[in-house]
Amino acid sequence: MAKEKLVKAITSMDEDFAKWYTDVCIKAELIDYASVKGCMIIRPYGYAIWELIQSQMDKMFKDTGHENVYMPLFIPESLLQKEKDHVEGFAPEVAWVTHGGSEELEERLCVRPTSETLFCDHFKNIVHSYRDLPKLYNQWCSVVRWEKTTRPFLRSREFLWQEGHTLHSTAEEAKLETERMHKIYADFAENVLAMPVVMGKKTDKERFAGAEATYTIEALMHDGKALQSGTSHYFGDGFSKAFDVTFMDKENKLVHPFQTSWGTTTRLIGAVIMTHGDDSGLVLPPAIAPIQTVIVPIASHKEGVLPKANEVYTKLKSVCRVKLDDSEQSPGWKFAEYEMKGVPLRLELGPRDIENNCCVLVRRDNGEKVTVSLDELETKVPELLKAVQDGLYNKALARRAEMTYDAHDMDEMIDIANNKAGFIRAMWCGDRECEDKLKEMTGVTSRCIPFDEENLSDKCVCCGKPAKHMLYWGKAY
């Protein structure tokens, strides 16, 4: 009964996907609303997920030679204005500090929406010779963008992220770095978050403000909307020129270095919710689950149950993140609670199980139950956690395949966009005018030019002129 009540408290996905998403964020205790509109409080369980994302991603960065730094929160307006395209791209979202205490500031300070300008200003002071390069930096911090429409994790006025900023002596080296970090993001999404992604390049319209090229990983959510889940940008030497960053090369010539930046955010938590969740709540890939296995004693008042549960807990601590819930709540309540929180495995242990030297393990991803000997737990639990991780990825991959459609002309494009949810693959002539027209007529935006382009036809889906690229299109968050 308790489980039934709890599950009913979540709006069904099919009834209202946006409400379902908000319900999961609140009821799984990931966030609470803050007194500042558009901001969120990340609660301990939500923050624990972020810490696991952060720690694993940070290791991948450090394994590839990157170092963590920290830049100031504020950017002087004059500094922000140095790169014209960049400032224009962020202008509508910038929050400004105009007073310090009761005194009006001589120059407005921007609350950082991103830190390219600060890194350039710093690089100018520390880079003088080719021997000083490359600089491979990353920063974990929060940024502020004054969004009009907000949603937990997906779009908030302040959010947590990492932003990589690197400086190189040659364009080739910088381009390789851009591609390398793009691959790291895709690897992380698929192998840690169990979330299949399309890798590709953004169109000129969609690329990052001030960049020469932007690479993206695009994921498909349960409701068929696309979610940009990580981007890597090649800047060329444009920022270096704007900020007068120079170095002496091997031929003793004063030249400008080449720059990259790349970033992911707490939006990844929203991506996980919308990729794997169901009507019972959150479903977490084991790699980022704060609790990978929860032990629920059955008839815990009976002699021997709690001591055995503690024994099992001690045994499992060495192979997974485990919790023993020995509270006075009923087993039914606990089942619903940990399903809501997306815990990958539930271990049920009662008097009869103890008599038979076994327990029941229940998978969150598919509800499958298996009876396991207590002597085999230390091998069986890791096996099942891997099965859940792989199962979630394969399920999401199959769903994406089912929700990816090909359009060969405008009529097909409009029909799919109006009647089906998901990615649309279609050819494009390369003209901005057609990209704008498709958005106007169908509501879709270009997601990326994939690396594995196929020739679906020789003609642009919009104008019928010769096609240059196959694009993934979709409605997006």
Which residue matches tokens 């950082």?
112
Residue 201 · residue 174 · CB < 8 Å? no
CA distance 221 to 419: 17
b/e per residue, 343-373, with b = 16+ CB within 10 A? Answer: bbbbbbbbbebbeeebbbbbbbbeeeeeebe
Mean pLDDT of 204-218: 94
Q: Where in the chain do CATH 3.30.930.10 domains reside?
A: 16-276
Question: Can you say how many angstroms the Cα of residue 300 is from the centroid of all Cα atoms in its chain?
Answer: 40
Whether 466 has a pLDDT exceeding 80, the answer reads yes
Strand partners, 232: 215, 262
Q: Where in the chain do CATH 3.30.110.30 domains reside?
A: 404-474
Whether 72 has a pLDDT exceeding 70, the answer reads yes
Q: Please report the pLDDT score of residue 249 as a whole number.
A: 97
Whether 3 has a pLDDT exceeding 50, the answer reads no
CA distance 48 to 70: 22
pLDDT confidence tier of residue 80, bands split at 50, 70 and 90: confident
3-state secondary structure of 119: helix
Q: By CB neighbour count within 10 A (0-12 exposed, 13-18 middle, 19+ buried), where does 432 fall?
A: exposed
Q: What is the pTM of this model?
A: 0.95
Residue 388 · residue 364 · CB < 8 Å? yes
Residue 447 · residue 216 · CB < 8 Å? yes
Tell the CATH topology of 291-387: Rossmann fold (3.40.50)
CATH match for 16-276 among 3.20.20.70, 3.30.930.10, 3.30.565.10, 3.40.50.1980? 3.30.930.10
Q: Please report the pLDDT score of residue 92 as a whole number.
A: 83
- CATH superfamily of this structure's domain 404-474: C-terminal domain of ProRS (3.30.110.30)
Model confidence over 155-185: pLDDT tens digits? Answer: 999 999 999 999 999 999 999 999 999 999 9
CA distance 328 to 313: 18
- Percent of the chain having pLDDT more than 70? 97
Token readout for 28 is: 């799984």
Angle at CA of residue 290, ends 285 and 296, nearest 5°:
95
Rg of the chain (C-alpha set): 25
pLDDT confidence tier of residue 2, bands split at 50, 70 and 90: very low
CA distance 350 to 155: 44
DSSP 378-422: HHHHHHHHHHHHHHHHHHHHHHHHHTEEE--SHHHHHHHHHH--S
